[in-house]
């Protein structure tokens, strides 16, 4: 599923870390405004603005709770089948369950995908029943309107997510069905990706048609959603191809060794003159005097140091600490590192073995491994996957 960095941690549910992305604030503001100024006044006129805003906040929180239930259903079913769940993050377009691994078989993949939409549809039923109960008990039009809106929105959420195209849950259902029928996981993911790009294109076209035919700019939201679906579907298709192409390839098979590095004690000016200008990388590992990896330094960070200060500022002062960077092991599957490296274009990941820097992997290494696979050749750096820390980097900038 799509990766999403948490901006704030809310706590844990069933042992799963729950967090939110900053974009949740955007959707909350839009929901509360729409409810307080349009939906609630139309359904229950005659109340003070403060009442509408208060009820709108409660309804919006219930909606986010329903989104969380949707994602929690995915996560609990995934965990039932042995897939570790790293976290759940709520964001602008819903939620993301970060799963560490893949379903063991097609049936598990299908049930994991279906769990979220089924919970949303069940939630729609619960809110619909609550709407009927509130109406029958004479609770008044304001709570009835809020509950009815929650019923309709949860029904829309469940049905929309079942549309057959990645990255929607329906795309994962399609992928699981194709995998089940053909016995090929990668073929299922490719089919879901292609379907997602078609679906996204239709959403974009529908949004523009709404703008042209009705003059309603709300079609921009539909087009924006279609663009997101196309982009995410393309990413999933690319990832499916990579997984098939790079199956069995380890980080140590493609890493560059010995790595080009800098030391914490050397000056920015000296490092730029002696190393940076002669090498193609945009990011470099930084070691301490004992040869241990302490962080990474990028050209962008170096450029922020004023020219007059580059002779006295040390690399250790401007490097990003190693605990904030992704560190790989030579035995790691390359496919695990490939998406992040390719997304950054020129990103670099250090490879550490036995506590020592063994090499580096860049997006160029991933591209080369992919092209070699097209030739039917597996990358081989002469047993680099077993490189140990006893081999000191031979190309160190001092």
Average pLDDT along the chain: 86
For residue 3, what pLDDT is reported? 54
Binning pLDDT at 50, 70 and 90, where does residue 367 land?
A: confident
For residue 40, what pLDDT is reported? 96
**Lowest mean pLDDT segment, chosen from 62-66, 75-79, 238-242, 350-354:** 238-242
Percentage of the chain surpassing pLDDT 70? 91
193 and 160 Cβ atoms separated by less than 8 Å = no
Backbone angles phi, psi at 250, to 5 degrees: -100, 160
103: closest CA among 91, 115, 95? 115
Catalytic residue among 71, 210, 236, 266: 71
Give tens-digit pLDDT for 117-137: 999 999 999 999 999 999 999
**Lowest mean pLDDT segment, chosen from 2-11, 173-182, 200-209, 387-396:** 387-396
Tally Cβ neighbours within 10 Å of residue 161. Answer: 23
For residue 384, what pLDDT is reported? 42
For residue 74, what pLDDT is reported? 95
Give tens-digit pLDDT for 235-251: 888 777 777 777 788 88
For residue 134, what pLDDT is reported? 95
For residue 71, indicate whether it is catalytic: yes
For residue 127, what pLDDT is reported? 97
Tally Cβ neighbours within 10 Å of residue 8. Answer: 11
Domains and CATH numbers, the chain: 8-245 (no CATH), 251-396 (3.10.580.10)
**Residue 346 scores a pLDDT above 70:** no
For residue 343, what pLDDT is reported? 62
**Lowest mean pLDDT segment, chosen from 242-246, 268-272, 361-365:** 242-246
**Residue 347 scores a pLDDT above 80:** no
How far is residue 35 CA from its own chain's centroid? Answer: 29
Cis previous bond, 167, omega within 30: yes
Integer Cα distance of 61 and 69 in angstroms: 12
Give tens-digit pLDDT for 12-39: 888 898 988 887 888 899 899 999 999 9
């Amino acid at each position: 599923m799509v990766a999403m960095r948490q901006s704030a941690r809310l706590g844990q549910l069933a042992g799963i870390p729950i967090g939110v992305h900053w974009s949740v604030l955007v959707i909350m503001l839009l929901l509360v405004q729409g409810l307080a100024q349009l939906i609630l006044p139309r359904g229950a006129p005659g109340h003070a603005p403060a009442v509408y805003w208060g009820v709108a906040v409660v309804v919006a929180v219930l909606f986010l709770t329903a989104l969380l239930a949707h994602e929690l259903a995915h996560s609990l079913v995934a965990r039932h089948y042995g897939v570790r769940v790293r976290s759940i993050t709520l964001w602008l377009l819903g939620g993301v369950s970060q799963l560490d691994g893949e379903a063991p078989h097609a049936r598990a993949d299908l049930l994991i995908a279906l769990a979220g939409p089924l919970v949303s549809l069940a939630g729609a039923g619960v809110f619909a029943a609550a709407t009927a109960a509130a109406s029958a008990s004479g609770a008044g039009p304001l709570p009835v309107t809020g509950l009815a809106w929650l019923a309709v929105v949860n029904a829309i959420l469940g049905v929309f997510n079942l549309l057959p195209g990645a990255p929607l849950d329906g795309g994962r259902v399609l992928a699981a069905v194709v995998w089940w029928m053909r016995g090929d996981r990668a073929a299922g993911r490719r089919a879901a990706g292609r379907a997602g790009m078609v679906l996204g294109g239709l959403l974009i076209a529908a949004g523009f048609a709404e703008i042209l035919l009705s003059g309603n700019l709300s079609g921009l939201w539909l087009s924006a959603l279609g663009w997101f679906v196309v982009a995410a579907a393309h990413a999933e298709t690319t990832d499916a191809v990579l997984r098939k192409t790079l199956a069995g390839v380890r980080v140590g098979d493609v890493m560059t060794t010995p790595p080009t590095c800098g030391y914490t004690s050397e000056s920015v000016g000296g490092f730029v003159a002696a190393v940076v200008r002669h090498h193609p990388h945009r990011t470099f590992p930084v070691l301490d005097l004992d040869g241990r990896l302490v962080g990474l330094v990028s050209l962008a960070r170096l450029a922020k140091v004023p020219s007059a200060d580059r002779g006295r500022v040390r690399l250790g002062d401007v490097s990003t600490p190693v605990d904030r960077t992704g560190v790989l092991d030579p035995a790691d599957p390359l496919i695990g590192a490939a998406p992040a490296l390719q997304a950054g274009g020129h990103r670099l990941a250090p490879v550490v073995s036995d506590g020592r820097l063994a090499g580096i992997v860049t997006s160029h290494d991933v591209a080369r491994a992919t092209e070699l696979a097209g030739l039917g050749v597996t990358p081989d750096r002469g047993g680099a996957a077993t490189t140990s820390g006893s081999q000191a980097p031979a190309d160190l900038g001092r």
